Chains A and B, each alone.
Chain A
Amino acid sequence: MRKPAYVPLRVVGFAATALLMELLVLTDVGGEGVRPDLLLPFVCFAALFASDRAQALGTAWILGALRDTTSAGPLGLYALIYLALAWAMAEVRLLIFREHPLVQALLAGGSAGITALAAAAWSAAFAGGVPFLTVLLRTSIGAALTALAAPPVLFLLTRRRALVRP
């Protein structure tokens, strides 16, 4: 039996701290309420460095449920989005250079874009429409901010593995 690469509960603990920072300190860092998605770097880590697929998917799902807890939207929406992203990342992890900061930034930024667009589509369908240009602009800025935040988070989690190792 393979030794787990990280303890999911520890990763979730660090991610919860990052989410608190996002919601309490970085609420308006990009202007007009745009902020980075600080859970996505942890989803990337969970998917790229897990010892098996079940660990990657389970951790990503819990991180999504964590964001759902703080949202007015339905429970399970972000859990489903993060799960799909983690599944996709786990599929391609052998094809990419996962330690490279640029790859990590691209993955996190792309994931943030997909997450924001999916959540905007849900909001438009079931809550109320958001102007399309606003969606594009805010998604782009949010994705760029997430891409900037991802490499330092992944560097910390991969280089200081003792923080999350069993």
Chain B
Amino acid sequence: MRTRRGRFAAWPLAALSMALMALPAAWTQSARLTLCVPLRPFRSTALAVERWLSSLAQRAGGDSSLESLRLKLDYAESKNLQYAADLSKLKATLASVTGARQAVKDPSLTLLPASVILPVDGSPWRRSLLIARGTKDGVARGMPVLWHNHLLGIVADTGPWSSRVTLITDPDLRIGARAVPLSSSGAASTPPREPGILEGSGESVLWLKWISGEVSVAEGTAVVTTPDPARGIPEGLLLGRVKGSSRARGALPRIQVVPLANARAVDSVLVLLRNEP
């Protein structure tokens, strides 16, 4: 009798799981994002652990004489490193805002810095990150998220204090894009070219599809956004660099694009807010 009752214990939970899966994501994401907010301090701890491990690895070969002096020196060095890290973080934010401002010239668009809480998604097949800005800061679904002048992704869900950003490498995201040759100065020039759709694949490459078969795209060509007023994506934000192309499945070429920014290594991002008049 006990075994029989135990066998049926799975069904209520299975039914509950399926009922939860049937709910719209917007209903559940807000609560999930709020639950993740307390994880914010762990990100900086994890980065500190990584730095400590790398410094340990560097010192692995040193000799052990003059240990006390070395400890004092280590302490001074660690304080120095902490200040340098704070300074570099501020410099990085400034450089990021300056870079983004060069690409986003529309004065009605504001850049909101946001630190990253979780750099990866819980599922290995999705590409998203969690940022520490939410609806209370004016963040809304569909807003573009930048790092320097690179488009990292789009805000997919928002909570009061945090938001989930779907990255351009996620299989669920499609963005209007075009390939433009780099000018001699290294900056991407934007002559009129055929636009296409950039699709994520869940791995570290993207596919530029639906561009005219007559357009030739050389390896190393920059891929930038096309203007998308509906989603508030400005023109010319960097997405990646062309790695190769193929025509295996039809007349239209499929162009392989490698993203230029590594979202897993990013500490803070910029959310592009539109100031309503």
Binding site for B on A (CB under 8 A): 19-20, 23-25, 27-28, 32-35, 52-54, 57-58, 61, 64, 67-80, 83-84, 87, 116, 119-120, 123-124, 127-131, 134-135, 138, 142
Number of interface residues of B (CB under 8 A): 52
Contact of B10 among A34, A57, A72 (CB under 8 A): A57
Q: How far is the CB of A101 from chain B (nearest CB, A)?
A: 25
In angstroms, Cα B124 to Cα A87, docked, is 23
Whether B119 pairs with A27 at a CB distance below 8 angstroms is yes
Of the candidate stretches B38-46, B98-106, B245-253, the one touching chain A is B38-46
Given contacts A72-B156, A72-B172, A80-B14, 6 further A-B contacts (CB under 8 A): A20-B42, A24-B119, A68-B122, A72-B122, A72-B170, A74-B25
- Please name all residues of chain B whose beta carbon is closer than 8 Å to the beta carbon of A131 when the two chains form the complex: 201, 203
C-alpha spacing A91/B148, complex, angstroms: 53
Report if A119-B124 is in contact (Cβ < 8 Å); known contacts: A25-B49, A75-B32: yes
Q: What chain A residues lie within 8 Å of B171 (beta carbons)?
A: 123-124, 127-130
Task: Give the number of A-B contacts (CB < 8 Å).
Answer: 155
Q: What are 27 inter-chain pairs, A to B, with CB distance below 8 A? A: A23-B120, A24-B119, A25-B49, A27-B264, A28-B264, A35-B124, A61-B13, A64-B17, A68-B32, A69-B35, A71-B123, A72-B122, A75-B20, A75-B23, A75-B32, A76-B18, A78-B122, A79-B16, A84-B14, A116-B124, A119-B125, A123-B125, A124-B171, A127-B125, A129-B171, A131-B201, A134-B202
Knowing A123-B126, A129-B171 touch, does A58 contact B203 (C-beta < 8 A)? Answer: no
Given that A71-B121, A74-B21, A130-B171 are known contacts, is A33 also in contact with B264, CB under 8 Å in the complex? yes
B9 adjacent to chain A (CB < 8 Å): yes
Contact of B19 with A127 in the complex, beta carbons under 8 Å: no
Assembly CA distance A101 to B14 (angstroms)? 30
CA distance A150 to B60 in the complex (A): 29
Write out the residue numbers on chain B whose beta carbons fall within 8 Å of the beta carbon of A78: 122-123
- B199 interface contact, C-beta 8 A: yes
| Min CB–CB distance B104 → chain A (angstroms) | 26
How long is the Cα–Cα vector from A71 to B126 in the complex, in angstroms?
8
Flag if A53 contacts B7 (CB, 8 Å): yes
